[in-house]
Amino acid sequence: MCKNLSIEAAMKKAKASIELEGFNVTKEHDELVRKSLNDELTHEQFMEEAKQLAAKRER
């Protein structure tokens, strides 16, 4: 449980920083990062999903 709280706190800080720079963080981004931090995805899977999100956004 402590790891989850640390992940949530880190994600909250990172999201605030990114949004201060003028970027938008979606629920899809949050979920992707959360899966990665919880070791539910390999690095390769994370990169593939991130690329798919970026391509989706460019349309």
Q: What percent of the chain has pLDDT over 70?
A: 97
d(CA 9, CA 26): 17
Please state the rounded mean pLDDT for residues 19-45: 95
Cα distance between residue 2 and residue 46, in whole Å: 23
pLDDT band at 5; cut points 50, 70, 90: confident
User: For 23-43, what is the mean pLDDT?
Assistant: 95
Q: Do residues 32 and 7 make contact, with C-beta atoms less than 8 angstroms apart?
A: no
Please determine, for residue 53, whether its predicted confidence score (pLDDT) is greater than 60.
yes
Percent above pLDDT 90 for the chain: 80
Alpha helices, DSSP H, located in the chain: 2-20, 27-37, 43-58
